[in-house]
Amino acid sequence: MPEQLSGPTAMNRVQDGVVKYGFIAVTVILFTYFALTEPAFATSSSLFSMLKFTSVTAILGLGVTFTMVVGGLDLSIGSTAGLAVQLAAMTMVFYNLTGVTAVVVVLIGGLAVGLLNAFLIVICKIPDLLATLGVMFVIQGAKLIPVSGQSVSSGMVLRDGSVAPGHFTEGFLKIDRGFVGPVPLPVVIMLALVVLSWFVLSRTTWGRLMYAIGANPEAARLAGVRVGVYHGLAYVISGVFASVGGLILVSRIGQGDVNAGSSSLLEAVAVALVGTSVLGLGKPNAWGTLLGALLVGIVLTGLTMKGFQYYHQDTAKGLVLIVALLFSFTLSRRKVRYTPAT
């Protein structure tokens, strides 16, 4: 394409503008459209509940973002969130321990899954997608072994006929149901993790090295980067973030729901992918992931208020993803930095 060598033309500039601001424009247009046509949409309580609804997807999406940055993809996040749900329920209901203990146990669980992924990928050299796929199935099944496949709830009858000694503590349930001022606590957690992720990825050497590894691991290695360490670190972060998402889920459900988290994987991957197109960056980034999650939240809330059924909404979610990918892959003149390793 020789014309690109002679500087940007007017057409190029229009195109760049579309790529850079198109996604944000779509979000703003949809938001405005729903706000104007559905009076209940833009009320503060409705917006806060939408943000709350979005928080788990966004947090899991941030974990995925880290793994996409290093050129991989963590398929085990949904199971890890589900594991967190079981661990929290068991700690409190079976062992009658405090909510704080449950939080610690859950975070250690997420860390352990992250380390397992890192071990399989970095040490055993199994491709990212395949290793995390295997771990996904293992965790999905293993988390149900100690509970015999049953949902753990306060006051449940155990196999020996006795009643479970513990229950979900008030404090633990506040993780999802509490507020900081008018803002629901999970929204605060989500925003804190977005800022943290943005800071690590964009403002620290770690983050820059992670992007470098994702762009060209061989070049990074030759430049003296300890590729394995940073590659593994991304999965550890992903595992911990997934367990934080699981904490919010289990406190929202109020019992150890065996199915919790299973539907989160694809949505989290989708919002992280949508996020690559924000501001035309063409690479996974924290704010993009947040915006992707918000757009999905806006579309789902708006369509529900307009009376659409769940299958329309799934279709709409897919279209959002495709439109976002059109912005970053088809329209962008910049080379896209994310291609998943297999």
Partner 1 sequence: MRNSKVLMAAITGASLLALAACSQGTTTDPTSAESSTSDAGSTTEVTGDAPAPFDGDVRIAIVQQSGQGDYFQQYLNGTRQQAEALGVELDVYDAQGDNATQASQLDQAIASGVDGIVVRHGYPDTLCPGVNAAIEKGIPVVIYDVEIQTCAPDAVQTQQSDADMAGLVLDQMLKDIGSDQKVGYVNVAGIAPLDRRDVVWRAALDANGWEQMFYTGSFTNSTATDTAPMVSSALKSNPDVVAIYAPYDEFTKGTLSALEQNPDIADGIKVYGADISAADIELMAAEGSQWVATGATDPNAIGAAVTRTLFLHMAGELPNGATVDFPPILVTQDFLRENNIKNMDDLRAAEPALNISDVSGADWIPAVTF
259: contact with partner 1 by CB under 8 A: yes
Q: What residues does 87 pair with on adjacent strands?
A: none
For tokens 């998402």, name the residue.
245
**How is residue 66 written in tokens?**
């880290």
Q: Which of 3, 141, 170, 192 binds partner 1 (CB under 8 A)?
A: 3
185: contact with partner 1 by CB under 8 A: no
Cα separation of the two ends of the chain: 30
236: contact with partner 1 by CB under 8 A: no
119: contact with partner 1 by CB under 8 A: no
Least Å from the CB of residue 298 to partner 1: 12
177: contact with partner 1 by CB under 8 A: yes
Q: Name 86's Cβ contacts closer than 8 Å, sequence gap at least 6.
A: 143, 144, 146, 147, 152, 256, 258
Q: Which of 87, 121, 303, 321 binds partner 1 (CB under 8 A)?
A: 303
Q: Name 238's Cβ contacts closer than 8 Å, sequence gap at least 6.
A: 63, 64, 66, 67, 74, 77, 114, 117
Secondary structure of residue 29 in the 3-state scheme: helix
- Alpha-helical (H) ranges within 144-263 are 170-177, 185-203, 205-215, 217-222, 227-253
Considering only residues 13 to 72 of the shown chain, the ones binding partner 1 according to CB under 8 A are 14-15, 18, 22, 26, 29-30, 33, 37, 40-41, 43, 45-46, 48-50, 52-53, 56
Helix (H) or strand (E) holding 209: helix 205-215
Q: What is the DSSP letter of 161?
A: S
Least Å from the CB of residue 242 to partner 1: 14
319: contact with partner 1 by CB under 8 A: yes
Neighbours of 177 (CB within 10 A): 15
Considering only residues 89 to 118 of the shown chain, the ones binding partner 1 according to CB under 8 A are none
Q: Is the Cβ of residue 56 or residue 212 nearer to partner 1 in the bound state?
A: 56
- Which window, 145-153, 210-218, 223-231, 277-285, contacts partner 1 (CB under 8 A)? 145-153
- Which window, 100-108, 138-146, 149-157, 209-217, contacts partner 1 (CB under 8 A)? 149-157
175: contact with partner 1 by CB under 8 A: no
Q: Name 129's Cβ contacts closer than 8 Å, sequence gap at least 6.
A: 72, 73, 75, 340, 341, 342
| β-strands 179-180, 183-184 pairing | antiparallel
**How is residue 235 written in tokens?**
């999965």
Helix (H) or strand (E) holding 180: strand 179-180
d(CA 193, CA 268): 15
- How many residues touch partner 1 under the rule CB under 8 A: the total is 58
82: contact with partner 1 by CB under 8 A: no
Q: Which of 115, 279, 305, 341 binds partner 1 (CB under 8 A)?
A: 305
- Interface with partner 1 (CB under 8 A): 1, 3, 9, 11-12, 14-15, 18, 22, 26, 29-30, 33, 37, 40-41, 43, 45-46, 48-50, 52-53, 56, 150-151, 153-154, 168, 176-177, 249, 252-255, 257, 259-260, 262-263, 301, 303-310, 316, 319, 323, 326-327, 330-331
